Structure 1
Amino acid sequence: MRLSTSWMYQQSLNTMISQQSSLAATQNEVSSGNRINVASDDPAGAGQVVSLNHVIAANTQYSNTINTATTRLNTEASTLSSATSILDTARTLALQAVNGTLSDSDRQSIASQLSQIKDQLVQLANTTDSNGNALFAGTSTTTTPFQVGANGAVTYGGNDAQQRSAVGSGLQIPTSDPGSGLFMNIPTGNGSFEASAGSANTGTLLVGSNSVTDLSAWNSSKASSGGGYTITFGAGGTWTATDANGNAVQDSSGNPVGGTYTDGGSISFNGMTIAMSGTPASGDTVSVSTGGQQDVFSTLDNMISALQSGSSDTQLTNVMSRQIESIDQTQSAISSVQVSVGGRLDTLTQQQGAYSDLNVTYQSALSDVQGADAYTAISKLSLQSTALQASQQIFAQVKSMSLFNYLK
């Protein structure tokens, strides 16, 4: 068999190229730390790597969304806490205002403080998140949901929806609360009804705390009469009640309700009790209404107007009492949302912890599939390097061989 010189050269060259290719692949494995760098390295393993990378990327995206949602909800919680603190101050000022020893200038000073509180509350209601999006605009894109008109009235330009963020497969968490439920659509009175002294009253009657004491009787009477009543006082504190249609209110036996009120007592009928103090003049009235709503900004405006109007102590006290009830209802609405925000933050914390644990698991699985054994790869690199050097030396010796070297 005749072996040509060119064939020998080509075989040696092919061997060295193959060794260089293997050495380059091993060098890449050592430098990258990965056994699989291209699909051809391990087709089956490459498929697993792609799947694991997709899962890890999805978890990372959910984790980032959770971080953003957590920041937004923390901002909301802080803002609501500030709003509650401001309303506490307004409530305290309202109680101070009904002190009969205050002068007109004292009341003007309190009105000025309440005006500043209103401005602060509007500012808080227009708080934005780190991206400049309004916290309390619902899903509206407006950045200033609460606008103050020329007459001082505040209007809401957002909607009643909640923004939501996907923090898991099929799991969405609300990341905002509409300002309509927090600051605007606030029930008046005790939440069930509002009892107010007539503006034309001439006596010293003060309407105090009131509540539903018999829910069944209250619901029954409200369904038949609409829940609107007028209590009218006669001489000596006698009183009668009529419904919204002007008909006399009757008890369960069909007799007209009524009686005689004494200072510091209360009036009860149809499942409700209204505490009072002072002495009513003949013809004075107390109205009972249900279903009313009042925004907190109007509450503050009413307090300011009453302080600036020069009303009598009795009139001022009655107005302030009703506005204090509205402040209490606002704080109740805010408190309810604060509890909800706290629950959402707990959910996000738990979800973030789960993703952190899963990420460790998936990264470990990815390392098992894709990662290279450093000791094995380095040993393999050393052997391949030695083999390549040997091939190169042999080729150099073969290349220098010539028949003419033996004919000299």
Structure 2
Amino acid sequence: MRISSVTMFETSTASLNRQQSEFLKVSQQIASGRRVVNPSDDPQAASRAVGVDQAKAVTEQFKDSRVSARNSISQSESIMNSVSDAVISAKTLLVQASSDTLSDVDRESIASELKGLYESMIGQANATDGNGRYLFGGYKDNAPPFVKSADGTVQYQGDNNVREQRVDASRLMPVNDNGITIFKSVPSGAGYLAESGKYSFDAASNKFDRNGFNQGDVTFRGPQIRDVNNEDYGSDFRVNVASDIGGNLTYQVERFDTGTSTWATTDTASANLPNGDWATNINENGSLSLEFGGLAIDLEGTPEPGDQILVAQAGSEQREPDLFRTMEQAIRVLESPADNPAKKADLRNTLNTSMRDLDNALDNVLTVRASAGARLNELDVVDAVGSNRMLNYTQTLSDLVDLDYADAISEYSLRQVGMQAAQKAFVDIKGLSLFNYM
């Protein structure tokens, strides 16, 4: 086989190029710190690395989402803390206002303090986040959720939805509670409440509307639970005061039928006369005890025909819970002079009912606040899981594409020696010529 000078030069040049290419590849790996600089270096590892890198980016995005969720929940929790403090202060003022030693001027002063707390609650209910969105309006976060109507009462203009945010692949977390949950709800298991006044049922709203006040000076205590096994237990009812032909007071109990949205008259009886499904009894202190549906309510004083007392489950459809309405009723009676027996009875009854309403409202706010705290704790747990996941992804990505410097440096030295040997061989070969011996 004849080997020409051109063949030797081409062979040597190819060897030099190959050695330089390998040397350059190792140099790029050392400079970048990665074993897989180009997908062609290790196609399988490069493909797996793309998937791991995408998963890592998604995990990082969930981490940012949890930061946003934590900020929203923390702000809501802080506001609910302020609301609970306001409710406690309002309850303290009502206890103070219940003292018979106070004058009308003293009660007006307490009403002024209650107004301040009332306005503070409205401000907290209409709080916004850092982006100007209202926290407690549900999906309607572009306008104040609580607005004063023409009659001075506060109406909720938001919706029943709860804004949620995905904080992990399998967790969609509520980041805000709506205004109904916080300000117009009671905790499960809340008891019965009594309220004096004249009521009518509005079928459109499916609740009682108070459209008048009692004329007598009757006050109530209770209701107390006597028999939870009574067949009528759990029913809302009202007591109507009337008079018979002889002018004697009679008491009529009407139970509300939730199935037909109508009142069903059960019985009419004179005082101290057991009758049918309910009974009356004169207590030792002279008060009249009415018992119906496993509940008992004590009445003191002299009612007038037409007076009514409503007994309803707290949070039922017939008596919608409303923290702002409770404050409005308390302010109303404290601002009105108690200058006759009927107004004094209305003052005592309203304050007693308002204090029980505030107790339920406080329990509800604390329950919702506890839920927010539980979500903050859950975010901490999800953060820890996410951090461990990020460490695993980082380690997997490093195993796939990162460089082992000890191996790379050894390879670098080997390729350097190989390239130098190829260069030396080329120099020696190109010097071979017959002309050197002629």
Smaller-chain TM-score bracket: 0.7 to 0.9
State how 1:383-402 maps to structure 2 within 5 Å. 383-395=414-426
Query: Normalized per residue, which structure has more strand?
Result: 2
Alignment partner, residue 242 of structure 1: 253
Local SS of the residue matching 1:159: coil
State how 1:67-146 maps to structure 2 within 5 Å. 67-146=67-146
State how 1:248-327 maps to structure 2 within 5 Å. 248=267, 254=276, 257-261=279-283, 262-263=285-286, 266-275=289-298, 278-280=300-302, 283=305, 285-290=307-312, 291-311=318-338, 312-327=343-358
- Conserved 8 A contact 1:232-1:286: no
Tell me by how many angstroms 1:40 deviates. Answer: 0.9
- Conserved 8 A contact 2:282-2:289: no
Tell me by how many angstroms 1:381 deviates. Answer: 1.5
- Conserved 8 A contact 1:142-1:157: no
Tell me by how many angstroms 1:245 deviates. Answer: 4.8
The aligned length equals 400
Alignment partner, residue 228 of structure 1: 238
Mapped to 1, the partners of 2:118 and 2:423 lie a distance apart of: 88
Normalized against structure 2, the TM-score is what? 0.79
Tell me by how many angstroms 1:246 deviates. Answer: 4.9
- Aligned residue identity for 1:302: Q
- Conserved 8 A contact 1:241-1:258: no
Tell me by how many angstroms 1:118 deviates. Answer: 1.6
Residue 377 of structure 2, aligned match among 323, 343, 346 = 346
State how 1:345-384 maps to structure 2 within 5 Å. 345-384=376-415
Query: Normalized per residue, which structure has more helix?
Result: 1
- CA deviations 1:172-230 (Å, max 9, x no partner) are 2222211112213569xx64443426733443x432332433233264573xxx63333
Residue 214 of structure 2, aligned match among 200, 207, 213 = 200
Q: What's the C-alpha RMSD, in Å, of the aligned pairs?
A: 3.4
Mapped to 1, the partners of 2:143 and 2:4 lie a distance apart of: 85
| Counterparts in 2 of 1:20 and 1:146: CA distance versus 1, 3 Å | farther
| Counterparts in 2 of 1:208 and 1:6: CA distance versus 1, 3 Å | farther
Mapped to 2, the partners of 1:191 and 1:17 lie a distance apart of: 90
Mapped to 1, the partners of 2:107 and 2:308 lie a distance apart of: 26
- Conserved 8 A contact 1:241-1:249: yes
Structure 1 residue 37 corresponds to structure 2 residue 68: no
Mapped to 2, the partners of 1:323 and 1:221 lie a distance apart of: 21
| Counterparts in 2 of 1:380 and 1:208: CA distance versus 1, 3 Å | same
Local SS of the residue matching 2:392: helix
- Conserved 8 A contact 1:19-1:384: yes
Local SS of the residue matching 2:94: helix
- Conserved 8 A contact 1:299-1:323: yes
Structure 2 unmatched ranges of 5 or more: 199-212, 255-262, 313-317
- Identity level (%): 26
| Counterparts in 2 of 1:94 and 1:10: CA distance versus 1, 3 Å | same
Tell me by how many angstroms 1:143 deviates. Answer: 4.7
